[in-house]
């Protein structure tokens, strides 16, 4: 395992052997998945897949969870949830999930993501767009490399953004030239109306370019999509959820790479009060900022997540 080596910023790991019926029905929410009390064999197989994803993640970096998301768990379940069809979250279905950097609001966001497929009978596509394949005018590049707007936390987090300072961040930046371009992008949670027309025009052009270079991965059971969260944005095409136990079911793991550095200025960001759960953190870094009780009752946004 390693970060994707091409400008695509993503790769698929395949060949994991299992059959659909081993996992039981798709749960109605992440909380139901975490508390799955059905067939004990199906529950064990789901847990085995969690372990597999963690082993793969640990071989490339440090898996971590979020204190305010899915109870701090290291492996998150992504399923459609009734009542959330039109939201900008992974619990949605009818709505197009806009391409985004995972947890773009936070300075300690993942460097890599693992999205593992247990079930996808309708071949629902995950979209991936690499910033290293877009073409932007120099003027637009310069505007987007300037900290103009903040990125706010998405609705999957139990937080009140207004309680924290909203620090503007650049959408694009590079340490050593265009071929090393990186991105921090989440239009659904960026207050674009607050920017000047020139910045909004540049942002629109970036959005157009990301659409132009977009590719779609319709994951099959046993496939894992590896995404470089500094290079590629990801989303999901709309679909109609049936809520019959046979809907799309993915699992997600966030990974940090200790030796990969980001902009120094990010260290001044408050992360809107969100902290990571990092049991595999390298020596010299906070191993666990806080671990929530496993039996904690989920907040009223508990079934929702952004992926």
Domains of the chain: 10-129+214-277 (3.60.130.10)
pLDDT for 44: 84
pLDDT in tens, the chain (307 residues): 899 989 999 999 998 888 777 888 999 988 888 876 567 777 888 889 999 999 999 999 999 999 888 889 999 999 999 987 788 778 778 888 899 999 999 999 999 999 999 999 999 999 999 999 999 999 999 999 999 999 998 876 655 555 567 899 999 998 665 568 999 999 999 999 999 999 999 999 999 999 999 999 999 999 999 999 999 999 999 999 999 999 999 999 999 999 898 999 998 898 998 899 999 987 655 544 433 333 333 333 333 444 4
pLDDT for 298: 37
| Per-residue 3-state assignment (H helix, E strand, C coil) for the chain | CCCCCCCCCEEEECCCCCCHHHHCCCCCCHHHHHCCCCCHHHHHHHHHHHHHHHHHHHHHCEEEEECCEHHHCCCEEECCCCCCCCCCCCCCCCCCEEEECCCCCCCCCCCEEEEEEEECCCCCCEEEEEHHHCCCCHHHHHHHCCCCECCCCCCCCCCCHHHCCCCCECCEEECCCHHHEEECCCHHHCCHHHCCHHHHHHHHHHHHHHHHCCEEECCCCCCEEEEECCCEEEEECCCCCCCCCCCCEEEEEEEECCCCCCCHHHHHCCHHHCCEECCCCCCCCCCCCCCCCCCCCCCCCCCCCCC
């Amino acid at each position: 395992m390693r970060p994707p080596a091409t400008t695509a910023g993503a790769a698929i790991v395949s060949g994991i052997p299992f059959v659909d019926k081993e996992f039981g029905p798709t749960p109605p929410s992440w909380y139901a998945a975490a508390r799955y009390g059905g067939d004990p064999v199906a529950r064990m197989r789901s847990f085995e897949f969690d372990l597999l994803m963690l082993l793969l993640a640990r071989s490339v970096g440090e898996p971590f969870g979020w204190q305010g998301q899915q109870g701090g768990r290291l492996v998150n379940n992504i399923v459609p949830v009734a009542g959330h069809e039109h939201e900008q979250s992974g619990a949605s279905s009818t709505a197009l999930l806009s391409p985004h950097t995972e947890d773009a609001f936070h300075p300690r966001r993942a460097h890599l993501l693992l999205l593992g497929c247990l079930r996808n009978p309708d071949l629902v596509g995950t979209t991936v767009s690499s910033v290293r394949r877009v073409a932007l005018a120099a003027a637009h590049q310069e505007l987007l490399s300037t900290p103009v707007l903040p990125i706010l936390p998405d609705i999957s987090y139990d937080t009140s953004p207004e309680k924290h300072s909203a620090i503007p961040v650049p959408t694009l930046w590079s340490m050593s030239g265009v071929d090393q371009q990186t991105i921090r992008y989440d239009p659904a949670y960026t207050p674009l109306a607050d920017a000047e027309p020139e910045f909004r025009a540049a942002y629109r052009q970036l959005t157009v370019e990301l659409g132009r270079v977009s590719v779609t991965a319709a994951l099959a059971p046993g496939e894992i999509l590896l995404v470089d969260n500094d290079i590629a944005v990801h989303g999901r095409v709309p679909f109609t959820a049936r809520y019959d136990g046979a809907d799309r079911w993915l699992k997600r793991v966030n990974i940090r790479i200790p030796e990969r550095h980001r902009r120094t200025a990010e260290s001044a960001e408050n992360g809107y009060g969100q902290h990571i759960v990092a049991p595999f953190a390298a020596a010299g870094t906070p191993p666990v900022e806080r671990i929530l009780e496993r039996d904690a009752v989920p907040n009223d946004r508990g079934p929702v997540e952004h992926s």
